Amino acid sequence: MRIIPCIFAILFILGTLTSCESESEMPEETNQPDGDGNGGEPDNEPISAVDTHGLLQTSGNKIVDKNNKVVQLRGMSLFWSQWMGQYYTKETVGWLKEDWKCNIVRAAMGVEDNDGYLSNKEVEKQKVFTVIDAAIAEGIYVIVDWHSHHAEDYLNEAKTFFSEIAQKYGNQPNIIYEIYNKPLNVSWVEVLKPYHEQVISEIRKHDPDNLIICGTRNWSQDVDEVIGNKISDNNVAYTFHYYAATHKESLRDKVQNALDNAIPVFVTEYGVSEASGDGSIDVSEAQTWWNFLEQNKISWCNWSIADKEELSAALKPGASGSGGWTEDLLTVSGKMVRDEIKAKNPEY
């Protein structure tokens, strides 16, 4: 007669233990369908390019993402900061991401010339910070470009600037350093490589891992000169620039030669116009270049977001720094490049 209550007691205890175990498992099971830690909310929230790819890393002649998958970024370069500062805004960056589908922007901080960083440090730096902060908020990549033709003359200033950027932003996967935009005809081995090595060692004190892009001789065209003379850092790519109405097959051959020798190439700037930024537009050659970049998975930024009256400018005079540009505010180049970006970049 006493056995029956005992059995009930045992069953009750077992039942309690079982139900506790189930409850403890419940939240995990609810989370499992998406596994993104958002508490089981539907997975229709847009994720960003930087969420998807994370920190970029060179691998052979390619750039790969945090999952070791090859990445090709497409976006826009802003114009010299001291002359087109009105586009160094979060609204412009937001519009380039939302409407143009850019997954990268380039802040081209003018260094010397009139009113560049050397004579106006705080003002120009703040413009770059604004663009970086906006790119981080939008989940896109941002190139911090030391926009100069004579950077070897201002080595200490470059070291100070990039050290500050690395300390402030080096933990963000969005950041890409471009430490010398467009050298003139100066030696890779004797001038450019030593310059890059010194700036890189300053960056690496604070940021051991983000991608750094190094300018090459002759307006960043002689990328093949790096063959046999690469910089000894494990996350460096090399700059190549072209203007489609001026530069054709012979420059593609240079890039191909570099690629064939495991040199990772990044087109931080190009135009569909002539090298002057003006002259004429070559639609057919622009397409040939795009095909070449696609085949080789080379990332690019187009020159430029500006409303200057020249063919390489994407905007017509008076286009606002708040984005929202209707098609009638885009130039021929602006429309061509926007169409290309929208056709190729993944939607976020």
* Chain contacts with Mg ion (rule: CB under 5 A): 170, 207, 209-210
Contacts of 90 (CB under 8 A, 6+ apart): 130, 133, 134, 137
- The minimum distance between CB 59 and Mg ion, in angstroms, equals 17
In DSSP terms, which residues pair with 57 in a beta bridge?
Answer: 64
Distances in Å between the Cα of 318 and the Cα atoms of 62, 327, 330 are 39, 13, 11
Residue type, 32: Q
- The minimum distance between CB 192 and Mg ion, in angstroms, equals 24
For Mg ion, the closer of residues 129 and 292 by Cβ is 129
The token pair at 273 is: 């116009």
The token pair at 173 is: 């996967």
- The minimum distance between CB 166 and Mg ion, in angstroms, equals 8
φ, ψ of residue 243 in degrees (nearest 5): -130, 115
Cα–Cα distance measured from residue 173 to residue 169, given in angstroms and rounded to the nearest whole number? 9
For Mg ion, the closer of residues 172 and 287 by Cβ is 172
Count Cα atoms within 13 angstroms, Cβ side, for 60: 10
For Mg ion, the closer of residues 160 and 167 by Cβ is 167
The token pair at 109 is: 């901080």
Cα–Cα distance measured from residue 157 to residue 118, given in angstroms and rounded to the nearest whole number? 8
Q: How far is CA 22 from the centre of its chain?
A: 47
- The minimum distance between CB 206 and Mg ion, in angstroms, equals 8
For Mg ion, the closer of residues 210 and 220 by Cβ is 210
For Mg ion, the closer of residues 170 and 277 by Cβ is 170
- The minimum distance between CB 235 and Mg ion, in angstroms, equals 9
- The minimum distance between CB 288 and Mg ion, in angstroms, equals 36
- The minimum distance between CB 126 and Mg ion, in angstroms, equals 22
Buried-exposed string 247-262: b where 16+ CB fall within 10 A, e elsewhere: beeebbebbbebbeee
For Mg ion, the closer of residues 205 and 335 by Cβ is 205
Cα–Cα distance measured from residue 162 to residue 251, given in angstroms and rounded to the nearest whole number? 30
For Mg ion, the closer of residues 186 and 231 by Cβ is 231
